[in-house]
Structure 1
Amino acid sequence: MPEDHTSTTGFHDALVTPGETGLPERFFDRFMFNLHPRDALTPSVIVGAGLYPGRNVIDGFALVTLPEQQRNLRFSTELDTTDGAGVGPLSWSIDEPLERWHLRLAPNETGFEFDASWQARALPWSGDVTVRGDDGSVTSSFEHLFQSGHYTGTASLDGVTLDIDGWYGQRDRSRGVRTMSGGQGLHLWFQAQFDDRSIGFLLVEDRAQARLLLEGAVMPVGGSLDEIVDVRHDLRFTDQLDLEGGTVEVRTASGEMYRIGVDASAKGGHMSGGGYGGQHGHPRGLDHVEFDVYPLDGSVSPRSVDTALTDRMTVFEWAGRTGIGILEFAHSRSASYTYQPSLDR
């Protein structure tokens, strides 16, 4: 069970260097950014990378979701052959920690490329999480941060120039040793972007609907964090474990309550395309690249790919206002789990 998770602004934003020593063999240092318009569900783009010094691996991915298909690019190389600031077509620099990153995705098989700055629009949520097994041993110990921002720069898709200035972008950073598989029933990484605030949390429940983890905050633009202390949900899943929509109720430390309608009927966002089915951190030699395409005609679902984890572009409704953002979800494929709403408990 999680032992503690506390908000802090002391997160060290820079990734470890390739020559870092004395780290556990399973240690990772990862980031993920998404890019999407403020008023449309496609294109939805997710890029990310991870460093694994104990395995001498650096790898990354780029996912591009369009109305009829999801394009997946995965790449990996040996960490000691790099400067730790790029892998495959993806490179990055931190212009100002916790405030501004520069990201570049060079020409690649997805057809999407960009050269842009991500600028924070709210304070980050960050915390330290320790997870212990049934025998009391530490199975995971990691730092976690997420933050809302927006982009300026240039991009193109299949040779067509896109205006991405003002596009939303939520980022996620994590560092440490993490093993959260086994016993999970429901996973939600909820990132609702409204014009004046972001509502973000990570919720994990076990197969008996008991809460394993809750961390997050309402993050006003230019304001201070309001920690989320409770989340209840009433969601609709298909028999293929895909999320259609529902209602999420969020309560904060200040006493605010947000009742948020969720429309997740858009397609794609299957994180298996980015190697999230257990592929991250495995040595694959120099300059390894994989590319494939998921048709979004119903033949690919959270039940059919190698992980149910899905980052879905979602429309949120709250107090007569419309927001947009990523809702990452995973419904266990175990026969021992049946989703049960918690909203009216």
Structure 2
Amino acid sequence: MITSFDDYCIHQTAEPVAEPSQSDRNFYDRYWFNGFDEDTFLFEIGLGLYPNRRVMDGHFSVAMGDKQVAFHASRRAPKERLDTAVGPLSVEVVEPMRQIRVRLTENEHNITCDLLFTAISAPHQEPKNIMHDDGHLIMHNTRFTQLGHWQGHFIIDGERTEVNKAYATRDKSWGVRPVGEPAGGAPGLMNNEPGVYWAWCPINFGDQASQFGTFEDRDGNATQVSADLVPLYSDMDSIPVGEDSGMIAMTAIEHRVKFVPGTRRAQSVDFDFADKNGESYHITLEPLQKFYMLGIGYNHFEWGHGYWKGELETFREDWNLDEVNELDYQFIHNHQVVRATLGDKVGYGTFESIIIGRHAPSGFKDFFDGAE
């Protein structure tokens, strides 16, 4: 299948660009974005391509106060990789690694947006995510994270919210991860004890950003962990091309989470980092606005990533955030806007967590028990 991208010198395998290098049905290519201010809103956007499933889907969700609303869309995947639109929702790369435009045009669900992401950091590559289940590779991907700001607006049920230099974070990832309908045959064992612990946190401190992420096993041993300080720039033309020499990698990394009683959502978080020169950094987080990730398809039973919904389908959902069952599987995965302190600096960012199953350091003993 020859497409327009085959005219560029970008091939990594002997196959056309439209054909992934492997036949794993869960191969994917995905955009994720969020945008927020200190006290009003948190919106998130996702658009994923699953070429071996022949599905492309997209989501736009906004949390404000105790309300969250979501737009979902799914279609048959296009062959052309330049076609990144799912019905009225589109992602346009205006300038690679610098500006991206997201639009949700008029639709029957009364949710629209026109938003321009402008980068203020170089793309920061995170450690690869690799996970096996009973001898089968179920996760192997590459991801980079980038900070920026948003200009534009969104409209929900006729109420327009202006977005003026709002905080922005995005990531781009590709490879293999569990998506869509489960595979047939015998179920996997996940090392005989199902579960996952993932915490992730980028923070904008004005002149630099901290970036942290970890997977841990049931006993709190890190199977993947990284933390870095990344320079931020006042304009996108100042951002270096390639690896940023100003990045400071942390060599000692610890985090502690206190949870809201009866939930698995963070009440407060502390980080202690040290770099190779022995300089230490203590960061504290105060959660503000909460957001549930099923709004952009994560853990969603109906609008999960890679599900076949038909040639083109769209849907709207609304939640009262004070009424959801936070220990319901679909609501375990959450984001929160956080206010952070690092010495005399104050910053804002996102704290992400998903904890399913036992996790000894957190005090969780069962599959979905809450904090005491």
Q: TM-score, normalised by structure 2?
A: 0.77
Larger Rg: 2
The aligned residue for residue 170 of structure 2 is: 171
Q: 1:220 aligns with which of 228, 231, 238?
A: 231
Contact 1:302/1:310 (8 A) holds in 2: no
Q: Confirm or deny: 8 A CA contact 1:226 1:254 kept in the other structure.
A: no
Conserved? CA contact 1:270–1:302, under 8 Å: no
- Residue number among 54, 57, 72 corresponding to 1:56 in the alignment: 54
- Report what 1:323 is aligned to: 347
Paired residues of 1:267 and 1:296 also in contact (CA < 8 A): no
CA deviation after TM superposition for structure 1 residue 323, in Å: 1.2
Q: Which stretch has the larger CA shift, 188-197 or 53-62?
A: 188-197
Q: Which amino acid aligns with 2:321?
A: L
Contact 2:289 2:338 in 1 (8 A): no
1:64: how far off? 0.6
Shift of 1:250: 2.5
What letter matches 2:74 in structure 1?
A: S
Alpha carbons 2:31, 2:173 under 8 Å: kept: yes
Q: Which amino acid aligns with 1:316?
A: A
Query: How far apart in 2 are the matches of 1:198 and 1:306?
Result: 30
Q: Which runs of 5+ in 2 are unaligned?
A: 1-9, 180-187, 234-243, 364-372
**1 CA distance for matches of 2:328 and 2:129?**
31
Using the alignment, how far apart are the partners of 1:121 and 1:262 within structure 2?
A: 22
> Does the 8 Å CA contact 1:151/1:165 hold for their aligned counterparts?
yes
Kindly indicate whether residue 290 of structure 2 is the aligned counterpart of residue 268 of structure 1: yes
Q: Is 1:280–2:291 an aligned residue pair?
A: no
Mapped to 1, the partners of 2:146 and 2:349 lie a distance apart of 12
Q: Which residues in structure 2 correspond to 1:37-76 (within 5 Å)?
A: 37=37, 40-76=38-74
Q: Deviations over 1:66-112 (max 9, x none)?
A: 11211122210101387531113321221222222122122357755
- Once the 2 structures are TM-superposed, how far is the Cα of residue 319 of structure 1 from its aligned partner? 0.9
Distance 2:74 2:277 in 1: 44
Report how far residue 244 of structure 1 moved: 0.9
CA–CA separation in structure 1 for the residues paired with 2:277 and 2:135 = 33
Structure 1 residue aligned with 2:273: 250
Tell me if the contact between 1:26 and 1:52 (Cα under 8 Å) persists in the aligned partners: yes
CA distance in 2, matches of 1:322, 1:112: 33
CA–CA distance in 1 between the matches of 2:276 and 2:137?
Answer: 29
CA distance in 2, matches of 1:307, 1:296: 10
Question: Match for residue 31 of structure 1?
Answer: 31
One-letter amino acid of the structure 1 residue matched with residue 282 of structure 2: R
Instruction: Provide the residue aligned with 1:106 in structure 2.
Output: 105
Change over 3 Å in CA distance of 1:137–1:281 after alignment to 2: closer
Matched to 1:193, the amino acid is: N
The one of 196, 208, 213 aligned to 2:219? 208
Question: Does 2:152 align with 1:153?
Answer: yes
Asked if the contact 1:121/1:221 (under 8 Å) is kept, the reply is yes
Structure 1 residues 122 and 255 mapped into 2: Cα distance closer, same or farther (>3 Å)? farther
- CA shift for structure 1 position 325: 1.4
Structure 2 letter corresponding to 1:258: Y
The question of 1:296 aligning with 2:307 is answered no
Counterpart-to-counterpart distance in 2, 1:251 and 1:105 = 42
Taking structure 1 as reference, are residues 81 and 188 closer, same or farther at Cα in structure 2, changes over 3 Å only?
Answer: same
Q: 2:161 aligns to what?
A: 162
Match of 2:291, SS state, is: coil
- Give deviations 1:234-270, integer Å, cap 9, x for gaps: 2111222121113122333454322111112x34311
Q: Residues 115 and 130 of structure 1: is their aligned pair in 2 closer, same or farther, counting only changes over 3 Å?
A: closer
Distance 1:67 1:255, change over 3 A: same
Q: CA RMSD in A?
A: 2.8
Q: 1:207 to 1:27 in 2, by over 3 A?
A: same
1:236 aligns with 2:261: no
Give, in whole Å, the separation in 1 of the partners of 2:54 and 2:279.
46
Query: What is the CA–CA distance in structure 1 between the aligned matches of 2:94 and 2:318, rounded to whole Å?
Result: 33
